[in-house]
Amino acid sequence: MYLRRITVNNFKNIRAAAADFSPKLNCITGMNGSGKTNLLDAIYYLSMSKSYFSNQDIYTITHDEENSAVTGDYSREDGTSEKIALSLSKEGEKCVKRNGKSYQRLADHIGLIPIVMVSPYDTCLINESGEERRKFLNAMISQTDREYLRRVQNYNQLLAQRNKLLKGNSVYPDLLETLSERLSYNASYIFEARRSFIKDFVPHVEKYYGQISGGSEVIGIDYKSDLERAPMEELLISSLERDKVLKYTSAGIHRDDLGFTMNGNPIRKVGSQGQQKSFLISLKLAQYSIFRDLHGKSPVLLLDDVFDKLDMNRVEYLLNLVASDYFGQIFITDSNKVRIGEILGKIDGDSKYIEVSGGVIL
């Protein structure tokens, strides 16, 4: 399935725009701040019902407007179609419709249109806290396992209730026990899903990084979880007195993390900008491969400013890779018109060139 046409209204700096796309390659160019990344985010919204860059929908609405809307017309190879319509308001209302019918739960939409995005923002996966890496894990697994998304949502709600209870003047033992039991029930599922996913995921990352880098470095990914040493229920019992003092839950899958290494050392300390970017691209291409295998169809691939900080050998590899029949619909943004022209010149087949300026699609 590919995005045939998009209509955008009051989405970030794009007040009113529409564009038709190629089922294969779409190159989007424009100066920094022109809106090309915002266009990709609108496409991402149609798949994930949220922004790639912010957890708060209000920041995607044009600053002096009250509502925002994005509509996507999709086509399948068999000739059938899907229309996805998203609307947002500054009052916090969000509605996603599939072929004119609203979802009762937004989570039911996730996975219908698999999508993978590569962005300069991804450096947060290396340089910032474990929360960013958990969000990355959740976004990947929730597109392949709807029950996982439901469990994560339940876990986070229960965790907030337990922490609120711990912060209060009185800790009610029966209520605390109930919350701990329900937390444990969800935590075990999340832990097993994450561990299983990472086991399948890592070989793909290693393969892509080896190809991009020419095998010059060895990378690694380690899944770290408190549940590796004991079940959640036991962790909560053993940490109860400490939690009462700290006034929050100090053990559990909400502390999970991923360790990224290069030649046995933390990649954030030893990796150059180009090596780190190559690693991040490898993460996303691995995500793409897993989605493609599980769904039996090619996800939409968004490559935002992907060539910056890469040497020519790595750029050449990426160009050859995305030109292959393995990939479906691709969107590439770049502020360099010459480079975009070279990309289009090297790739045979269906393609589309789009220019964005001041939030307007030219």
Percent of the chain with pLDDT over 70: 99
pLDDT for 170 equals 78
pLDDT for 347 equals 67
- Tell me how far apart the alpha carbons of residues 192 and 187 are, in angstroms, rounded to a whole number: 9
Percent of the chain with pLDDT over 90: 67
Amino acid (1-letter code) at residue 253: I
pLDDT for 309 equals 73
Report the SS3 class of residue 100.
Answer: coil
Give the range among 109-118, 131-140, 279-288, 312-321 with minimum mean pLDDT.
Answer: 312-321
- Most confidently predicted of 120-129, 209-218, 219-228: 219-228
- Tell me how far apart the alpha carbons of residues 8 and 36 are, in angstroms, rounded to a whole number: 13
What's the count of helices (H) and strands (E) in the chain, helices before strands? 11, 15
Would you list the domain boundaries of the chain? 1-114+300-362, 123-296
- What class has domain 123-296? mainly alpha
CATH 3.40.50.300 fits 1-114+300-362, yes or no: yes
pLDDT for 266 equals 95
User: Using one digit for the tens of pLDDT, what is the confidence trace for 314-343?
Assistant: 777 777 777 778 888 999 998 888 877 777
Q: What is the dihedral of CA 135, 138, 141, 144, to 10 degrees?
A: -110
Which strands, in side-by-side order, build the sheet including 14-20? Answer: 14-20, 2-11, 67-75, 81-89, 94-98, 101-102
**H or E segment to which residue 268 belongs:** helix 267-270
* pTM summary value: 0.86
User: Using one digit for the tens of pLDDT, what is the confidence trace for 109-120?
Assistant: 988 999 999 998
* Token output for 302: 């968004």
